C-alpha cells in the first residue's frame, strides 16, 4: 500500500480512540441502538486490532477502517469529521493495491450510500439483517 503520512496501522493502544470514534457516531445516529459501553467497545477493538487489518487516520485518531484482507471486506469505516475527505483517504488507501472490495452498509445510512457510490461502489442484490439492528445492503468496487 502506498505511504500516507497520517494513515497508519492501528495498535492495541489505539483501541480507546477507535471506540470513541464509533461511540460518537452512535450517539449522533438516531436509528442505531446504543448497545455497548465505552469499556466494552474498547475491549472489542483491543481484541480485533491484532486479528484484522485496522488502519487509523490522524493524530489524535479521527477515523479508522477495519479490513478483512482475505475476503477484501471493509468491515468498518468511521470518522469523527464527515465531509473533510478522511473516509475517502482511508478507502483510497485500501484501494491502492486491490482490484476488488466489498462492504455492507446499513439501509438507513443514506449519507454512506452517497459516499460509497461516489467512490465507485455499486449495489449488489445481497441484503441481510444487520447484527446491530437495521438491515444492510452489500456493495462492491472493481478496478
pLDDT band at 1 (very low <50, low <70, confident <90, very high): very low
Residue 134 domain-assigned (yes or no): yes
Identify the CATH number of the domain in which residue 93 sits.
3.40.630.30
Domain count for the chain, please give it: 1
Residue 136 domain-assigned (yes or no): yes
Other beta carbons within 10 angstroms of residue 24's beta carbon come to: 13
What pLDDT does 3 receive?
A: 47
Strands 73-79 and 53-57: unpaired
> Per-residue pLDDT tens for 63-74?
999 999 999 999
Question: Comparing 131 with 89, which gets the higher pLDDT?
Answer: 89
Q: What is the dihedral of CA 37, 31, 76, 107, to 10 degrees?
A: 160
What pLDDT does 60 receive?
A: 94
Domain coverage including residue 99: 7-142
Give the whole-angstrom CA distance, residue 11 versus residue 9: 7
Residue 11 domain-assigned (yes or no): yes
Angle between helices 38-48 and 15-27 (to 10 degrees): 130
Residue 20 domain-assigned (yes or no): yes
Amino acid at each position: 500500500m502506498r505511504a500516507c503520512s497520517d494513515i497508519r496501522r492501528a495498535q492495541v493502544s489505539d483501541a480507546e480512540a477507535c471506540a470513541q470514534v464509533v461511540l460518537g457516531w452512535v450517539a449522533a445516529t438516531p436509528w442505531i441502538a446504543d448497545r455497548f459501553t465505552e469499556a466494552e467497545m474498547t475491549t472489542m477493538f483491543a481484541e480485533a486490532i491484532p486479528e484484522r487489518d485496522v488502519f487509523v487516520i490522524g493524530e489524535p485518531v479521527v477515523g479508522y477502517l477495519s479490513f478483512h484482507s482475505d475476503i477484501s471486506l471493509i468491515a468498518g469505516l468511521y470518522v469523527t469529521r464527515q465531509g473533510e475527505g478522511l473516509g475517502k483517504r482511508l478507502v483510497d488507501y485500501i484501494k491502492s493495491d486491490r482490484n476488488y472490495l466489498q462492504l455492507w452498509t446499513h439501509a438507513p445510512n443514506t449519507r454512506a450510500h452517497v459516499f460509497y457510490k461516489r467512490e465507485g461502489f455499486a449495489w449488489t442484490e445481497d441484503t441481510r439483517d444487520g447484527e446491530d439492528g437495521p438491515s444492510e445492503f452489500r456493495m462492491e468496487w472493481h478496478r
